[in-house]
């Protein structure tokens, strides 16, 4: 695959993730959109590393760090979703009008 193809794919992942994060009302779909955006950024970083790094391990290290952040974000996000659902019985973002208090 060429550099252009991979960067277009990364941009498509970020765009689909942005659309999913902004248009969905379910907490799970919102988090899936965020994950798609992070995957697009990670693909772009690995692509730049592969085409310009010539074997330097910083690109691989960045990818591992992003994957660890994604795992932590998903675990904390789902824990918050479960806590909100138990407290308010709300599974969408529109059902939480009292979250400010």
For 57, the domain range is 3-88
pLDDT at 100: 55
- Alpha-carbon distances of 66 from 20, 49, 85, rounded to whole Å: 20, 14, 28
CATH code where residue 70 lies: 1.10.287.3510
pLDDT at 10: 95
> Domain for residue 69, yes or no?
yes
**Which residues, other chains included, contact 4 with Cβ-Cβ below 8 Å and sequence gap of 6+?**
none
> Domain for residue 93, yes or no?
no
> Domain for residue 97, yes or no?
no
> Domain for residue 95, yes or no?
no
pLDDT band at 9 (very low <50, low <70, confident <90, very high): very high
Residue 42: how many other CB atoms lie within 10 Å: 20
> Domain for residue 101, yes or no?
no
Total tally of structural domains belonging to the chain: 1
List pLDDT tens digits, range 12-53. Answer: 999 999 999 898 778 788 888 988 998 998 888 888 888 886
> Domain for residue 13, yes or no?
yes
pLDDT at 94: 63
Q: What is the pTM (predicted TM-score) of this model? A: 0.75
Chain CA centroid to CA 17, Å: 7
């Amino acid at each position: 695959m060429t550099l252009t193809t991979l960067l277009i794919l990364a941009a498509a992942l970020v765009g689909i993730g942005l659309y999913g994060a902004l248009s969905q009302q379910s907490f799970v779909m919102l988090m899936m959109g965020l994950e798609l955006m992070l995957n697009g950024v990670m693909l772009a970083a690995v692509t730049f590393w592969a085409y310009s790094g010539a074997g330097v391990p910083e690109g691989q290290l960045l990818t591992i760090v992003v994957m660890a952040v994604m795992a932590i974000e998903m675990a904390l996000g789902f824990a918050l979703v479960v806590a909100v659902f138990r407290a308010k019985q709300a599974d969408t973002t529109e059902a939480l009008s009292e979250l400010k208090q």
